[in-house]
Structure 1
């Protein structure tokens, strides 16, 4: 079938046709030239039952086209409805990416109209009856400073929170404010979050292979657009092999970070996810950690921060929770910590900024 490219604003109007099998949608988002070069819209879609091709955020610098079938989208929406019950949905996320797209799909499957609101959550207005909304941690962090937004969010029966790791203190504070939060874990390749509050949704199976998370179910994607080798490395039947590490704690999945978060510095393994969590505990949302090549250490941990504290302060404060090798060895000031549309730290942008400064 021919690929229909569109803008994110066109997705709500075209999605019913895609779910009915009359077209295959491909939203073109933040980087249209790169995305179109990857999508190759002049070539047909060969995956059976394909409905939508969503682009990853490209935080690694190499965007991928994730082919989602009608079967997968329906399975993901129906499993969330089994967990929540029928809901009216408010959309505050870009519909060109999977988190916003799935809000539309869930509403369509439930036979409900979607309410759209601003990404800053300033104009939320739940519909009569039961309501749900999907947001990212950055939106929650900013909402905590705005009492009127918190009051609006508290009117929702379920607030799906995903797209990036969330600080534990932020989560507790938000729950104390009366927010009905549900933390979600998933990715574009699984039609968004398929593990809620550490528990797989109905029809989803989670397995750990030497700590690596594998996700199995009908919500699995069909393949990467025009990339069979990459597909074979990630997808086996209906099982998605992730790049994330996890463990079971009291019967719930805890995501520890990415497999490639572990770097070797001075001959010692350093888990960047652990370092990031320790940094976030001191100053949530202000800083990010990356590892850069270094002649002495092999890889060294660098902290990029909007906060005023100097490197000595950070090293002193972090010494209680991190080993000596994991402590930041350099500090770079930045005006803002760049994030992807899903709220994840954009490490590619950060590394690019560091290289520019070095030049």
Structure 2
């Protein structure tokens, strides 16, 4: 079995700060338990501890069990949503004691009334868990994605689609081994693919929660040999500390993705000679399919990068006609790393994926993102993309964070609304608007301004637009007319 061969080939210190033999024991125990079942088990993997998570993940893959990667910090409503969708056989999660094969009763709610509940069958010699539901898609890896909607869904991947992404990455950066310093959650594609790159190439993997990094609780490694992946908000926070700025500048490459980065942040990273590699990708493509190489970034290149060898991007208009260089249109992705669908549905056409993003390929073949089709605001008959307005507002250097959306308006169709975090309490929206008059067309300047202490971003830096809309609705309802 390919996965078993990979495990045998690992060096003693491949997971920095962890015992390889402890990992192997965890893997073998769980793998053998799964093999005792007559059919593949549907598994929810909600382990918080990284080594246990990785051992469970690999054992499930090696035993051909469909595994659903889960965030252990999901709330009651989110877990109920996942239960209703998946109806699992096994749930692997945090417990102070007990073996791998267990049901986690808290904080997970029980399935809805009338649904079969996983239970131990005393008549079975293996003492395993039974369930009335079987998974229609065996041997798959389900990776959660909520995007900007906030509703959880699982992109269906396989070991092969993830490996296609690894191969494209190593070819692009011309590497035999990939050492990764991971501060992103392993249940998310951005963290999982860091593990996959290191594990399958014989590289090293250091795993530290971002909070530990910020509090200087980090393992001292040879940074020049490692890749680290960050989202823009994490990079922003680290660059506010001179010690962290120096630390980041020592890394071989700092991959940046998860959400759009703003020009001021990129300029600051370039000023401090951070070997940044802005990327473009998503859960459905098993992470990045376009990346700027660090040398190109330091030399002033601004884009989402060159297309990796395992992918192809075509820009088309609304009629499906292929556009030329520098013409903006819909992004069509062809890649060996594409997901098969969203659980439990398999996509009818798996040859390509048309995404919500709009962009163009420049003369160098680099991808440039201009906005999202679903985020487009039509105000007074004009098409406006939030990313342009957000960039202009950030450039005033008067906000720490900002998000621009459109809300229904009887006069304009949609009214541009800016939800922002001011850098100082005494900064008013009028001050910002006065600066924007020389930067944006009049119809692009937001009509509503809402100051907030925080924006509802997830760990990958993506805005939850459902929560944001609720914030706007509540604020406008209570504000003076």
The alignment's TM-score, normalised by the length of structure 1, stands at 0.91
Counterpart position of 2:87: 40
TM-score (norm 2): 0.69
Cα distance, 1:124 vs structure 2: 5.3
> 1:225–1:315: structure 2 CA closer, same or farther, 3 Å change rule?
same
Q: 1:340 corresponds to which residue?
A: 458
Determine if the alignment matches structure 1 residue 294 to structure 2 residue 333.
no
Match status 1:267 vs 2:381: yes
Structure 2 runs not aligned, ≥5 long: 1-39, 90-132, 293-304, 318-328
Deviation string for 1:201-249 (max 9, x for gaps)? 1121111122111111111011100245xx45xxx32312111001112
SS of corresponding position for 1:108: helix
Which residue, 163, 181, 197 being the options, matches 1:90? 181
Between the aligned partners of 1:248 and 1:189, the Cα distance in structure 2 is 21
1: distance between equivalents of 2:316 and 2:85? 31
What is the Cα-based RMSD across aligned positions, in Å? 2.1
Residue 59 in 1 paired to residue 130 in 2? no
Separation (CA, whole Å) in 2 of partners of 1:327 and 1:226: 43
Q: Distance in 2 between matches of 1:113 and 1:44?
A: 37
1:47-196 equivalences under 5 Å are 47=137, 49-50=139-140, 52-84=141-173, 85=175, 86-120=177-211, 121-122=213-214, 123=218, 125-127=220-222, 130-196=225-291
Q: Cα–Cα, structure 1 residues 196 and 2, in superposed 2: closer, same or farther, change >3 Å?
A: same
SS at match of 2:361: strand
Q: What is the rounded CA distance, in whole Å, between the counterparts of 1:293 and 1:124 in structure 2?
A: 50
How has the CA–CA distance of structure 1 residues 131 and 274 changed in structure 2, closer, same or farther, with 3 Å as cutoff? same
Check if 1:203 corresponds to 2:310: yes
- Deviation, 1:32, is 2.5
2:305 is the alignment partner of 1:258: no
1:356 maps to what in 2?
474
1:238 aligns with 2:351: yes
For the 8 Å contact 1:47–1:222, the answer to whether it is kept is no
Distance 1:209 1:7, change over 3 A: same
Q: Distance in 2 between matches of 1:128 and 1:140?
A: 16
**Partners of 1:58 and 1:195 in 2: CA distance:** 19
The equivalent position to 1:316 in structure 2, one of 422, 425, 434, is 434
Q: Does 1:281 align with 2:395?
A: yes
* SS across alignment from 1:255: strand
Kindly tell me: are residues 342 and 156 of structure 1, through their superposed partners in 2, closer, same or farther at Cα, counting changes over 3 Å? Answer: same
Paired residue for 1:23, among 34, 42, 65? 65
Q: In 2 relative to 1, CA 71–8 (structure 1 residues): closer, same or farther, beyond 3 Å? A: same
- In structure 2, the CA distance between the partners of 1:142 and 1:23, relative to structure 1 (3 Å rule), is same
Question: Which one is further off, 91-100 or 9-18?
Answer: 9-18
Q: Which is bigger in relative contact order (C-alpha 8 A, separation at least 6)?
A: 1
1:285–1:208 CA distance, 2 compared to 1 (3 A): farther
Asked if the contact 1:8/1:94 (under 8 Å) is kept, the reply is no
CA contact (8 A) 2:285 2:337 kept: yes
Secondary structure at the residue paired with 2:456?
coil
Q: Is the 8 A contact 1:57 1:341 kept in 2?
A: no
Q: Contact 2:64–2:138 at 8 Å: present in 1 too?
A: no
* Aligned-partner Cα distance in 2 for 1:64–1:125: 37
Structure 2 contact 372–385 (Cα < 8 Å) conserved: no
What is the SS of the residue equivalent to 1:306? strand
Contact 1:92 1:134 in 2 (8 A): yes
Given that residues 288 and 303 in structure 1 are in contact (C-alpha distance below 8 angstroms), is that contact kept between their aligned partners in structure 2? yes
Query: Are 1:275 and 1:326, in contact at CA under 8 Å, matched by a contact in 2?
Result: yes
What number of residue pairs does the alignment pair up? 353
Runs (5+) with no aligned partner, structure 1: none
- Larger deviation, residues 40-49 vs 236-245: 40-49
Deviation, 1:148, is 1.6
Tell me the SS of whatever aligns to 1:55. strand
| Cα distance, 1:127–1:110 mapped onto 2, change above 3 Å | farther
Distance in 2 (alpha carbons) for counterparts of 1:199 and 1:5:
36
Q: 1:280 to 1:36 in 2, by over 3 A?
A: farther
Alpha-carbon distance in structure 2 between the residues aligned to 1:262 and 1:254: 17
- Higher strand residue share: 1
